[in-house]
C-alpha cells in the first residue's frame, strides 16, 4: 500500500511542489485531492521556473500519470490555459492527465459571488485568492454543483446549469445588486471546454485503486496547508476544503487503509497570505528581510506573504491532525546568517500559557507567542546535499524540531532548485 500523502503543515506555500516533483520520480501516479487553482506550486528545473496550479507537480516527469481527483474544484478555462502553457514549454501532457469525472467545476458566477461577498466584508474579509473556490464548494455541498461528467452530456448540463444560473442570478441581484449571467453563453463556453477536456476525463478513483492493488507507488499532493483546512484550520480564515491528510481519501476515492505515510511539509519559518491570525508574525525589519530573501510573494496572486518565526504549537497540531509519519523541512537556507532564531513553544492567553492550538481564529487572535531562542548559524546551507555538509547550528535546529514534534525529518530542502535537497530517508523504493 505505498500511498504517500504530502501535505502542508502550516498556512500553505511550504514548498510542497518542489518535494512532490522530487518524490514523483519514484511514483507511478501523482494525484491532487482538494482545492483548485488557488494553489501555486513552484518547481525549478535548470533555472526554469514552473508554477503548477491544478495539474499535479509530477507532470514535469515524462510519462507520469497525473490525476486531478474528485475532491478538486476545477475552473476548466484555467486548466486548459495551464495545459497549453505547459505544452508550449515542451511538457508532454498526452495521455498523462486524468481528471475525475466527479470533480466539481468552478463556474463564472462563483467568481462573481466571491468578489461580491469579499468586498462586502470590509476588514473581516478572508483575503481569498478570488478564484471562486468557496462558492464552488458551496454549490457542491448544496447539491447544486456541476461536475466534469455533467458538461459531457449536453442535456444534463443544460438542465443543471439552468437551475444553477436562475438561483445564482437571484442571489447576485437580491444580496449584492450585482448583474447575473446568461445561460446560453455559459453553456456554449463550457461545452467548448468539455470538447477539449473529454479525452482526459474518467474514473480516477478506479484507476488509482487498481494501481494501489498492483502495489504501485502513488504520491498524493496536498494543496494549501493544515492551518487553512476548513475543519482544522483557523476558521473562518481558511480555504473551503480539507487540505489536511484526511481529505485525501474522500478527495480521491481511496480508503484510509491504503495510506502508507503522511509527510508534512514545514517551512523553516512561517508564512501566511490573506487575512486571519498569525501569532508569530514579524512586523519589523526581520519580517521584511525573510520576505525578500525568501521571495515570499504569492505564486498565484503575487501578494506579499506575511512572515514570522516557526510555531511549534501550530506544528504540533499539524502532526496530530495529519498523523504525520515524517516531515520535510524547506527553506532552511533563508535562515542562514542569523545570530539567533526564535521558535514559538507556547501561547500566552488570559495570563496562562498553553501548548494547545486553539480551535478558532478569535481565540488565536488573543494568543501571544512564548518564544525560546536558539543559536543561529553563519555558514551557508544553500544548495547543500548532505546532512554532514550543514553547519552544526543548522543540524541542531533540525534536531530540535524533530525532538519537539516527535517525528523525523525525511528531507531537507536547501534551495529552490530540484537538486538542492538532502534526502535523509527515502519514502518510496
Out of 20, 27, 30, 39, name the contact with ligand IMO by CB under 6 A: 39
Asked if residue 127 binds ligand IMO (CB under 6 A), the reply is: yes
The residues, ordered by sequence, that sit 6+ positions from 73 with a Cβ below 8 Å of its Cβ are: 35, 36, 103, 104, 105, 106, 132, 133, 136, 137, 140, 241
18 binds ligand GDP (CB under 6 A): yes
Q: Which is nearer to ligand IMO, 240 or 325 (CB)?
A: 240
For the segment 277-306, give every residue that binds ligand IMO (CB under 6 A). Answer: 299
Taking the C-alpha atoms of residue 73 and residue 54, their distance in angstroms, rounded to an integer, is 9
Query: Which cell numbers in the block locate residue 89?
Result: 514549454
Cα separations in angstroms, 331 against 146, 228, 279, 416:
39, 20, 20, 8
Rounded to whole angstroms, how far apart are CA atoms 223 and 72? 10
Q: How far is the CB of 245 from ligand IMO (least distance, A)?
A: 14
Among 57, 96, 100, 129, binds ligand IMO (CB under 6 A): 129
| Range 237-256, binding ligand IMO (CB under 6 A) | 239-240
Per DSSP (E only), the strands in 257-325 are 259-267, 270-272, 306-308, 310-311
Placement of cell 545570530 in the chain: 339
13 is catalytic: yes
Shortest distance, position 54 Cβ to ligand GDP, whole Å: 13
Does 12 bind ligand IMO (CB under 6 A)? Our answer is: yes
Rg over CA atoms, the chain: 21
Phi, psi (rounded to 5 degrees) for 337? 90, -5
Residue number, 79 or 146, with CB nearest to ligand GDP: 79
In the list 40, 145, 264, 369, the residue contacting Mg ion (rule: CB under 5 A) is 40
For 82-137, the DSSP string reads HHHHHHHTT---TT-EEEETTPEEP-HHHHHHHHHHHHTTGGG-----SSSHHHHH
Name the catalytic one among 28, 37, 41, 317: 41
Q: Are 356 and 315 in contact (CB under 8 A)?
A: no
Among 57, 70, 224, 270, binds ligand IMO (CB under 6 A): 224
Q: Pick from 141, 185, 197: which is nearest to 161 by CA? A: 185
Judged by CB under 6 A, does residue 168 bind ligand GDP?
A: no
Which of ligand GDP, Mg ion, ligand IMO, none has residue 38 at its interface (CB below 5 to 8 Å by kind)?
ligand IMO
Nearer to ligand IMO by C-beta: 334 or 390?
A: 334
- Indicate the DSSP class of residue 358: P
Binder among 186, 253, 415, 422 for ligand GDP (CB under 6 A): 415
Helix (H) or strand (E) holding 330: strand 326-330
Cα-Cα end-to-end distance for the chain: 12
Rounded distance between C-alpha atoms, residue 251 and residue 266, angstroms = 22
* String of contacts with Mg ion for each residue 285-324, x by CB under 5 A: --------------x-------------------------
Whether residue 227 contacts residue 318, with contact meaning beta carbons closer than 8 Å, is answered with: yes
Question: Residue 333's binding partner, choosing from ligand GDP, Mg ion, ligand IMO, none, with beta-carbon cut-off 5 to 8 A by kind?
Answer: ligand GDP
Known active-site residue 41: yes
Tell the smallest beta-carbon distance from residue 111 to ligand IMO (Å): 11
What does the per-residue mask of binding to ligand IMO show for 255-274, with x meaning CB under 6 A?
Answer: ------------------xx
Binding test (CB under 6 A) with ligand IMO, winner from 38, 57, 169, 416: 38
| Residues between 39 and 98 that touch ligand GDP (CB under 6 A) | 40-42, 44
Query: Which residues are within 8 A (CB) of 419 and not within 5 positions of it... i.e. 6 or more apart?
Result: 385
User: Dmax over Cα atoms in the chain, in whole Å?
Assistant: 66
Pairing of strands 41-45, 48-52: antiparallel
- What positions carry a catalytic annotation? 13, 41
Interface positions with ligand IMO (CB under 6 A): 8, 11-13, 38-41, 126-129, 131, 133-134, 223-225, 228, 239-240, 273-274, 299
Chain residues in the site for ligand GDP (CB under 6 A) = 8, 12-18, 40-42, 44, 295, 299, 330-331, 333-334, 413-416
Q: List contacts with Mg ion (CB under 5 A).
A: 13, 40, 299
Amino acid at each position: 500500500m505505498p500511498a504517500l500523502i504530502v501535505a502542508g503543515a502550516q498556512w500553505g506555500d511550504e514548498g510542497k511542489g518542489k518535494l512532490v516533483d522530487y518524490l514523483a520520480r519514484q511514483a507511478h501516479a501523482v494525484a491532487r485531492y482538494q482545492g483548485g487553482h488557488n494553489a501555486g506550486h513552484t518547481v525549478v528545473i535548470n533555472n526554469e521556473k514552473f508554477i503548477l496550479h491544478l495539474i499535479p507537480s509530477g507532470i514535469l516527469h515524462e510519462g507520469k500519470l497525473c490525476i486531478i481527483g474528485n475532491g478538486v474544484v476545477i475552473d476548466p478555462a484555467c486548466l486548459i490555459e495551464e495545459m497549453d502553457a505547459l505544452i508550449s514549454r515542451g511538457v508532454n501532457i498526452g495521455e498523462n492527465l486524468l481528471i475525475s469525472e466527479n470533480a466539481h467545476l468552478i463556474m463564472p458566477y462563483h467568481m462573481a459571488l466571491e468578489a461580491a461577498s469579499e468586498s462586502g466584508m470590509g476588514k473581516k474579509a478572508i483575503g481569498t485568492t478570488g478564484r471562486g473556490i468557496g462558492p464552488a464548494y458551496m454549490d457542491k455541498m448544496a447539491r447544486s454543483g456541476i461536475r466534469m461528467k455533467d458538461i459531457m452530456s449536453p442535456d444534463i448540463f443544460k438542465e443543471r446549469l439552468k437551475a444553477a444560473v436562475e438561483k445564482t442570478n437571484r442571489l447576485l441581484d437580491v444580496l449584492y445588486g450585482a448583474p447575473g449571467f446568461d445561460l446560453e453563453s455559459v453553456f456554449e463556453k463550457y461545452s467548448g471546454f468539455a470538447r477539449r477536456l473529454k479525452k482526459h476525463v474518467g474514473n480516477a478513483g478506479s484507476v488509482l485503486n487498481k494501481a494501489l492493488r498492483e502495489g504501485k507507488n502513488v504520491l498524493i499532493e496536498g494543496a494549501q496547508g493544515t492551518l487553512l483546512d476548513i475543519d482544522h484550520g483557523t476558521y473562518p480564515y481558511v480555504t473551503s476544503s480539507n487540505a489536511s491528510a484526511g481529505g485525501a481519501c474522500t478527495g480521491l476515492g481511496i480508503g484510509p487503509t491504503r495510506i502508507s505515510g503522511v509527510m508534512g511539509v514545514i517551512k523553516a519559518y512561517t508564512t501566511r497570505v490573506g487575512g486571519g491570525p498569525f501569532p508569530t508574525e514579524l512586523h519589523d525589519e526581520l519580517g521584511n528581510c525573510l520576505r525578500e530573501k525568501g521571495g515570499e510573494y504569492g505564486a498565484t496572486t503575487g501578494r506579499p506573504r506575511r512572515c514570522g518565526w516557526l510555531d511549534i504549537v501550530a506544528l504540533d497540531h499539524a502532526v496530530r491532525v495529519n498523523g504525520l509519519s515524517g516531515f520535510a523541512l524547506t527553506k532552511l537556507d533563508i535562515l542562514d546568517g542569523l545570530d539567533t532564531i526564535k521558535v514559538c513553544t507556547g501561547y500566552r492567553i488570559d495570563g496562562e500559557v498553553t501548548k494547545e492550538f486553539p480551535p478558532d481564529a478569535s481565540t488565536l487572535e488573543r494568543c501571544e507567542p512564548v518564544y525560546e531562542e536558539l543559536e543561529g548559524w553563519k555558514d551557508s546551507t544553500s544548495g547543500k546535499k548532505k546532512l554532514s555538509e550543514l553547519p552544526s547550528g543548522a543540524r541542531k535546529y533540525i534536531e530540535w524540531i524533530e525532538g519537539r514534534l516527535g517525528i523525523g525529518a525525511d528531507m531537507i530542502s536547501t534551495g529552490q532548485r530540484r537538486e538542492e535537497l538532502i534526502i535523509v530517508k527515502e519514502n518510496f523504493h
